[in-house]
Amino acid sequence: MEHETGKLMYNLTKDLFPICRSITGNGVRDTLKILQTIIPLKIIEIPTGKKVFDWTIPKEWNIRDAYILDTEGNKIVDFKKNNLHVVGYSIPIDTVLSLDELQKHLFSIEEQPEAIPYVTSYYKENWGFCISHNQRQTLKKGFYKVYIDSELKQGHLTYGELILPGKTTKEIFLSTYICHPSLANNELSGPVLTAFLAKWIQSLPREFTYRIIFIPETIGSIAYLSENLYSMKQNIVAGFNITCVADNKDYSFLPSRYGNTLADKVAQHVLKWRQPNYKTYSFLERGSDERQYCSPGIDLPVVSIMRTKYTEYPEYHTSLDNLDFISSEGFEGAFNIYKECIKILEKNAFYKTTVLGEPQLGKRGLYPSTSIKRSSDSVRTILNFLTYADGTNDLIDIADFIRLPALELIPIVDKLIYHELISKIF
Amino acid sequence: MEHETGKLMYNLTKDLFPICRSITGNGVRDTLKILQTIIPLKIIEIPTGKKVFDWTIPKEWNIRDAYILDTEGNKIVDFKKNNLHVVGYSIPIDTVLSLDELQKHLFSIEEQPEAIPYVTSYYKENWGFCISHNQRQTLKKGFYKVYIDSELKQGHLTYGELILPGKTTKEIFLSTYICHPSLANNELSGPVLTAFLAKWIQSLPREFTYRIIFIPETIGSIAYLSENLYSMKQNIVAGFNITCVADNKDYSFLPSRYGNTLADKVAQHVLKWRQPNYKTYSFLERGSDERQYCSPGIDLPVVSIMRTKYTEYPEYHTSLDNLDFISSEGFEGAFNIYKECIKILEKNAFYKTTVLGEPQLGKRGLYPSTSIKRSSDSVRTILNFLTYADGTNDLIDIADFIRLPALELIPIVDKLIYHELISKIF
Amino acid sequence: MEHETGKLMYNLTKDLFPICRSITGNGVRDTLKILQTIIPLKIIEIPTGKKVFDWTIPKEWNIRDAYILDTEGNKIVDFKKNNLHVVGYSIPIDTVLSLDELQKHLFSIEEQPEAIPYVTSYYKENWGFCISHNQRQTLKKGFYKVYIDSELKQGHLTYGELILPGKTTKEIFLSTYICHPSLANNELSGPVLTAFLAKWIQSLPREFTYRIIFIPETIGSIAYLSENLYSMKQNIVAGFNITCVADNKDYSFLPSRYGNTLADKVAQHVLKWRQPNYKTYSFLERGSDERQYCSPGIDLPVVSIMRTKYTEYPEYHTSLDNLDFISSEGFEGAFNIYKECIKILEKNAFYKTTVLGEPQLGKRGLYPSTSIKRSSDSVRTILNFLTYADGTNDLIDIADFIRLPALELIPIVDKLIYHELISKIF
């Protein structure tokens, strides 16, 4: 079936879409519980007030209802219809205001008059409503009742973690975020694809250990790093911040701070061969948790492979980033790219020939016995592989030298190891 | 007032223009005395015969008068009208010659028939006159009286030096030459701009010590180096050989030997942002004191930022390089470029963030509290600065990474140091 | 006389052309004996069965006669007319076959119907005939007598070696192969040009020792390396695998494994100046003994400068690569390129100035005494040379910095050493 996994991912997104997530609160817990139906996530809670690097875990926010009534008592804005209508972290309110006063608490986008914007105010207490600009234009002079049934309390920041042990303690790291309400590409595509990737990784024999986390953006990665930095710096060899992976447009790549890590190498290698039109952004255009992972002193090898990058599509952070904006096909394409990265990383190592000069392939059945004009492609690939398997190049380097996708070299690696013509040096 | 400093520089050039300078002699002394009205130059004399590296300080040359009389007694060439008429370092002569004999001692430029060329013979005793090719064509057969009232004697090579101490003993080095007679862009623009730059530096609080010298070209820099090499190599972090800075055409850059010093970096950074059409020459096209400063074993970080480079304009080394060839505006433009280089160098250092992960800018009043779509430009600049402030990049590196002029980052550096979010590491 | 050496080389090729060479046997011995008329080659034999790295010296192969008779007794294929008719290393056969059975032992090229292909079966016992595709089309149903009077026996692999000692034990290495039957550009041009190059080198005063070998391809280089690896790795500073040097088309360059050795540097420097249209191949397109010389753990600095590269011309490995395909002019051009490489290598060293600052060239008669506008070209070349003679650049680096052919700098090196203005540091 075409895009089978893509369809499963799309369906899971549909289930998660209505939940009102934020950086803390029950929306995050509900989301993680649904993800636990796919993978055995461990759920961890960090208390409000805890110091994490330069930051402090904020109060936990929960919301039950919110609306605006006009003078005639019509519910003109209703949180239950779209959770984007309320500014994230709005404090409770129950009052009547003139239109002028209300305007100070309304957010809309003039250039996108149909869209409800996504707005938050995590670190300054405030309240507000987000509506389409079209609707805002229709508001008449008069008084409005505003009601937000929310709560800011000493509570917890909640996140999910899955550790899948491998042969070595060296780790591949996957991070994705679960702090946005009903937004599809940014963000739900991230945790959904990550969950399916984790499920597939679970089924693999693994060279590497996998550290996979589902966290609120920024404060979540800061909190996670502050608790795990030592072992992360010790072990992580490549990592991916997974977001915006389900629209069906071109591919994008956001490098690490200097663009020189193993994660950058494998991502660009795979994209170059599979999606040659992919767009590379500058690290200056970052905007997600690589802001923490790649910051000075943390310096983790983390990149993002995306479909259309956050902030680069008009639907971003509005009600237009909805279930119509994403597709099974979009999901499936990104899923395959990430799988190929992981397959290559699992086999990536520095290889070294065991004999001096070219080995005699013929006596091992690897060479056609009668030579005419020039040797065959497969023989050349073997000899080319051996030539750059000098202990200074890893699998991806060798693939780049010999101008082939690393994935295609994996059977050759296996064959040469079987014949003891190469050994893995580290 | 527009080009105010440019006008002051132009006026000082007018005062210095008539003096007959050479690599030694009273013309140099008179020039330095006038410069002392601007800055407290120390005047130093090195005696004839002193060994300086591979060279020897030559005899001191002075000239009082020189002319050619035709058979009718007309003074057809007169040193007092233009000091370029006499070949520099001409020995005294008082004789009568046939035109054929005289021709051997005449210099003119066929391709520039209006121009009097500038010619010298420092290291081989000789005499000669320089005239326009047009005039040369009018010379009739017959006899000419030639008279040069000059003197070559045991004396001194004279130069000026100004040391402006700063917080550190590390130095910025400025060098310019004072050995050409009435030539405006090459050379007077050099010492005049350097004097005004020195005056401005004097008024600054200084991180660096400044070593500023006014020397005859080649023999002067060799002599100065031979006396100061150890402390120069120890201390100089960036230097500029200042010449050809007052015409009003495009900007030029002459790099150091390998083009990889701090002086190269700051000069190219400023030119890239302020004068993007500037022309970069190869070090093979050098022709001034960088020949010494950047030679093997000396290896000082010295570059030149010029308007039109010496040898690249037809007026160069002729009577056409006069007060009409330069302008206040030309002076002012180059002055501003040099000032920006110095401002950046004063603040240039390796900076390092003091917190792990991004700091919480909001609690320090550096972040807008309600986020919509994407963060503001100034916040991004601060976060971008912090991201590359990892202790491996200096201010100019960071500016290049984040694609902004280093000058614009100086207020951010001050703000981040104030908030103790970065520290200067060296 | 034009192409004098080229003509001598062409004539020697004519003498060697008819001999039936293979990787072992009397054809090799006869070839080496003829080469001994030019240079004092030492002939060395390695016995069948000897282990050399991953390989074993094969049996020695000799052939006296071979033919195919049709049913009417016509000798339709005759080894004595063209030794390409027999598959190299064919075992003896004397039988009668149907056309269908014969076809399994026939080789021809459909796309080049006039050409007899060159085919071998060294490591799997077999027999066969090579004919033009046109002839193959004419073969009628019926029976054919096939006769090959060959012999595979315990014998030797034979090669030639010439060591020409120089002032140092450091070596320049020349390798060429002598294992192909009647084929002109690939291969005879190689050993012939190498022999003449060796003769010219013999006549030179030599800085370097020269190791020059004439070996069968692949098994020969493997055998030679396995016996000489230690001293080769110790001593060889640059080497050339000489092949395909006598056709008259454009020049080609095959680099070493990483393209970063002294051999790469000198070859590309000379080609850039003398044959700027030369084509650079990737090391992936290698196909001769650099496969061994540049393999991991061996890592010798060996490159090939060719006219048209093997496998890149349709005549390659067919009867069309004959004496008409090559020319005296083609030979001479390649000979001159190799000579220039060797002249430069002989003078190549790291040079360092002996004085600080520019030396005073005038007192050594190296500078015009009266300066007007700018210094002369030769003075600039001397000063430019001195500027980059800082002990970190070899002759070729300096030539590249100052944008001149290294060959033209050799007289300047001599002059500066004479005046003790530079010294050779290693």
Q: Is A298 on the interface with B (CB under 8 A)?
A: yes
Per residue in B138-182, pLDDT (tens digit) is 999 999 999 999 999 999 999 999 999 999 999 999 999 999 999
Per residue in C361-391, pLDDT (tens digit) is 988 988 765 555 545 678 899 999 999 999 9
Confidence grade of residue B101 (pLDDT, cut at 50, 70, 90): very high
pLDDT for residue C370: 55
Residues of C in contact with A374 (CB under 8 A): 287, 311
Q: Name the pairing type of β-strands A143-153 and A93-98.
A: antiparallel
Domain C4-57+159-346 grouped into CATH 3.40.630.10: yes
What's the one-letter identity of residue C2?
A: E
Chains that touch A (3 or more CB pairs under 8 A): B, C
**Selected residues 363-382 of chain C with any CB under 8 Å from a CB in chain B:** 363, 369-374, 380
Location of each CATH 3.50.30.90 domain in chain C: 60-153
Per residue in A171-184, pLDDT (tens digit) is 999 999 999 999 99
- 8 Å CB contact between B171 and B162: no
Confidence grade of residue C2 (pLDDT, cut at 50, 70, 90): confident
Domain B60-153 CATH class label: alpha beta
Q: Which bin fits C259, alpha (ψ -120 to 50), beta or left (φ > 0)?
A: left
Architecture of the domain whose range is A4-57+156-346: 3-Layer(aba) Sandwich (3.40)
Q: Looking at the partner chain, which of C107, C126, C257 has a beta carbon nearest the beta carbon of A387? A: C257
pLDDT for residue C426: 75
Q: Which residue is it, tokens 């132009």?
A: B10
Residue B408, min C-alpha distance to chain A (Å): 17
Residues of B in contact with C366 (CB under 8 A): none
Nearest chain A residue to B364 by CA: give it. Answer: A54
Asked whether the ipTM of the predicted complex exceeds the cut of 0.85, the reply is: yes
For residue A350, which of A423, A404, A261, A266 has the smallest C-alpha distance? Answer: A423
What's the one-letter identity of residue A119?
A: V
pLDDT for residue C362: 85
What is the spatial distance between Cα A317 and Cα C344, in angstroms, rounded to a whole number?
Answer: 66
The DSSP call for residue A187 is I
Residues of A in contact with C54 (CB under 8 A): 355-360
Who's near A103: CB < 8 A, 6+ residues apart?
none
Average pLDDT, chain A: 96
- 8 Å CB contact between C63 and C150: yes
What is the spatial distance between Cα C240 and Cα C172, in angstroms, rounded to a whole number?
Answer: 8
Q: Is A221 on the interface with B (CB under 8 A)?
A: yes
What is the spatial distance between Cα B353 and Cα C145, in angstroms, rounded to a whole number?
Answer: 88
Q: Is B119 exposed, middle or buried (0-12, 13-18, 19+ CB in 10 A)?
A: buried
Q: How many C-alpha atoms does A338 have within 13 Å on its Cβ side?
A: 33
pLDDT for residue C369: 55
Per residue in A122-158, pLDDT (tens digit) is 989 999 999 999 999 999 999 999 999 999 999 999 9
Q: Is C225 on the interface with A (CB under 8 A)?
A: yes
Mutation target vs B (from C372, C404, C420; most B CBs, 10 A cutoff)? C372
Evaluate the CA torsion angle B325, B328, B329, B330 in order and state its sign. positive
Residue A346: is its pLDDT beyond 70? yes
Location of each CATH 3.40.630.10 domain in chain A: 4-57+156-346
What is the spatial distance between Cα B320 and Cα C143, in angstroms, rounded to a whole number?
Answer: 98
Architecture of the domain whose range is A349-424: Orthogonal Bundle (1.10)
Who's near B259: CB < 8 A, 6+ residues apart?
B283
Q: Domain B4-58+156-346: which topology?
A: Aminopeptidase (3.40.630)
pLDDT for residue A79: 98
The DSSP call for residue B140 is P
Location of each CATH 1.10.10 domain in chain C: 350-424
Q: Which bin fits B227, alpha (ψ -120 to 50), beta or left (φ > 0)?
A: alpha
Q: Looking at the partner chain, which of C257, C284, C311 has a beta carbon nearest the beta carbon of A403? A: C284
- 8 Å CB contact between C218 and C157: no
For residue A27, which of A78, A81, A88 has the smallest C-alpha distance? Answer: A88
CA torsion angle for C310, C312, C318, C323 (degrees, to 10)? -70
What is the spatial distance between Cα C24 and Cα C17, in angstroms, rounded to a whole number?
Answer: 17
Confidence grade of residue B370 (pLDDT, cut at 50, 70, 90): low
Location of each CATH 3.40.630.10 domain in chain C: 4-57+159-346
pLDDT for residue A372: 52
Q: Looking at the partner chain, which of B352, B370, B402 has a beta carbon nearest the beta carbon of A126? A: B370
Rounded to the nearest 5 degrees, what angle is found at the Cα of A119, between the Cα atoms of A114 and A122?
170
pLDDT for residue B3: 82
Residue C1: is its pLDDT beyond 70? no
H/E element holding B97? Answer: strand B93-98
Confidence grade of residue A1 (pLDDT, cut at 50, 70, 90): low
For the packed helices A395-402 and A262-274, what is the interaxial angle rounded to 10 degrees?
A: 40
- 8 Å CB contact between B209 and B146: no
Mean pLDDT of B320-327: 97
pLDDT for residue C120: 96
Q: Name the pairing type of β-strands B42-47 and B156-164.
A: antiparallel
How many beta carbons lie within 10 A of that of residue C370, not counting itself?
A: 16
Confidence grade of residue B372 (pLDDT, cut at 50, 70, 90): low
Residues of A in contact with C311 (CB under 8 A): 373-374
Per residue in B5-53, pLDDT (tens digit) is 999 999 999 999 999 999 999 999 999 999 999 999 999 999 999 999 9
Q: How many C-alpha atoms does B177 have within 13 Å on its Cβ side?
A: 28
Residue C21: is its pLDDT beyond 80? yes
pLDDT for residue C375: 52
Residue C236: is its pLDDT beyond 80? yes
Q: Is C222 on the interface with A (CB under 8 A)?
A: yes
Who's near B237: CB < 8 A, 6+ residues apart?
B170, B171, B172, B208, B262, B301, B345
Who's near C17: CB < 8 A, 6+ residues apart?
C182, C184, C188, C322, C323
pLDDT for residue C206: 97
CA torsion angle for C187, C193, C199, C202 (degrees, to 10)? -100
Tell me what percent of the residues of chain B surpass a pLDDT of 70: 98
- What is each CA distance from C360 to B57, B59, C377, in whole angstroms? 12, 16, 17
How many beta carbons lie within 10 A of that of residue A47, not counting itself?
A: 11
Confidence grade of residue B393 (pLDDT, cut at 50, 70, 90): very high
CA torsion angle for A223, A225, A231, A237 (degrees, to 10)? 140
Residue A365: is its pLDDT beyond 90? no
What is the spatial distance between Cα B306 and Cα B285, in angstroms, rounded to a whole number?
Answer: 13
CA torsion angle for C162, C167, C172, C173 (degrees, to 10)? 20
Confidence grade of residue B376 (pLDDT, cut at 50, 70, 90): low
Q: Looking at the partner chain, which of B54, B120, B297 has a beta carbon nearest the beta carbon of C360? A: B54
Chains that touch C (3 or more CB pairs under 8 A): A, B
What is the spatial distance between Cα B79 and Cα B77, in angstroms, rounded to a whole number?
Answer: 7
Q: Is A95 helix (H, G, I), strand (E, B) or coil?
A: strand
Q: Is C123 on the interface with A (CB under 8 A)?
A: yes
Per residue in C268-308, pLDDT (tens digit) is 999 999 999 999 999 999 999 999 999 999 999 999 999 99
Beta-bridge mates of residue B82: none
pLDDT for residue A44: 98
CATH number of B350-424: 3.90.320, 1.10.150, 1.10.10, 1.10.101?
A: 1.10.10
What's the one-letter identity of residue C346?
A: E
Q: What is the DSSP string of A348-410?
A: --EEEESSSS---SGGGT-S-SSEESS--HHHHHHHHHHHH-EEEEEHHHHHHHHTS-HHHHH
Q: How many C-alpha atoms does B254 have within 13 Å on its Cβ side?
A: 28
- Are B374 and A128 within 8 A, CB to CB? no
- 8 Å CB contact between B66 and B79: yes
- 8 Å CB contact between B88 and C370: no
How many beta carbons lie within 10 A of that of residue C68, not counting itself?
A: 23
Q: Is A362 exposed, middle or buried (0-12, 13-18, 19+ CB in 10 A)?
A: middle
Name the phi and psi angles at B51, rounded to 5: -80, 130
What is the spatial distance between Cα B395 and Cα B406, in angstroms, rounded to a whole number?
Answer: 7
- What is each CA distance from A413 to A359, A418, C287, in whole angstroms? 15, 8, 22
Q: Which residue is it, tokens 């005039």?
A: B135
